[in-house]
Structure 1
Amino acid sequence: MDKNAGVDVQAKHSGLQARHWKMALQSAAIVVSNYWRLAQANAKSVIFAKEWTKDLNDVERFYIHMMLSRLRPEFFELIDGKNPHFERFRMEEIRDLPKLCLRIRRTVRRALGSFPSPGRSVNVWFDQSCYKVQNENGVECVYLTSMTKGKRIRVELKGIGKVGSVIHLLFRSDGKLELHVMEPLKKKALENVPAVPEEKYYSRA
């Protein structure tokens, strides 16, 4: 099977609630999206390190940037062997579109790593609608939505800390259970950075 081809997934009903399916599909979509975005980033670096890119005009260079800057329908059309056109784009200035698309396509396929596959550990994601936090006699407890409607799983936490947003429950292969809490990154002011004189600032329209 071609590693670039789509992967058929057959899901069996396992008693999961709709919220569990929602979080599972969201996390799977993020993994697959990151897989393709990494391939795009690696392919772009490889392409612009090639000698032949020095002979490209500005429109051809911008076409490559457009194709590899984000996941868009035109990108997957290119992977499928087509030569996509962008609307309101000066396509007539691209001298050999099939050849350019072929070079991009080959580079992306070489940049693709192994397709993500499930590991031995089991991951479950919970958003704020799937759990609640309670303090019981000084012990912080998280009540997670279970596979049985109306019942929750009680998990005692070591220590007391802020639990919010999305949490990640990891069943490790050694039988241990980990609960990961997503924390926003804190901004820290840069130190010892010289100020740039105002007249040195510039922009390009």
Structure 2
Amino acid sequence: MPRTADHEQRRRQIALAVCALVSEQGIDAVTVARTAAAAGISVGLVQHYFRTKDDMLLHAFAHVSASIRGRVDARIRAGTEHRRPIARILAEAMAEFLPLDETRRTEFRVATAFAGRALDAPALAEVDVATARALRADIAQAVRNGKECGEVEPGLDPVPAAVRLAAVTEGLAMQVYRDPEVLNGVPTADLAASVIDAELAAVFTGECRQYLDR
């Protein structure tokens, strides 16, 4: 049967409750009963949509991933619309993965809790691996696009570059989470931006020719 708008709304309501519990109390706080209380619905209704804790975590992780993806897509659209270089667009997209505000800190806690749970749950591990691969694939495509428009040297291999940039994004996210305000005497958001810019400058070494003839 096709899912109704009410069905999707209920699932979103539960996902938000799981995210709130993980963010405020940690993954061990996520139970069917607590999720129901946080969502303001009955235990039976939660069980109607999700049979297990892992099912709820998987859906919460999907919700977080979709939220980040939506913001990244908006950055790409805006960047293309304003004819920004690919490196600038990618810098803004990478920043969406950093816990620089309360929304992104909650997303980071959920994603990290999910990754930890995935260590001992093969079904969740598959999703975790697929998500990481998708990020690398997106970055690799940006590098390929950079080669076409002149921002990246023709001989550069996009895959190692994508692995490097994805690793920087993931590691930087953890550093930002640990010290959300100041790192080494510098505002965290400023330092994070400078790290991303430096890493991108090592890959995107040329000038964008994309809009010269338009």
TM-score of the superposition, structure 2-length normalised? 0.25
Structure 1 or 2: more strand by fraction: 1
Structure 1 or 2: more helix by fraction: 2
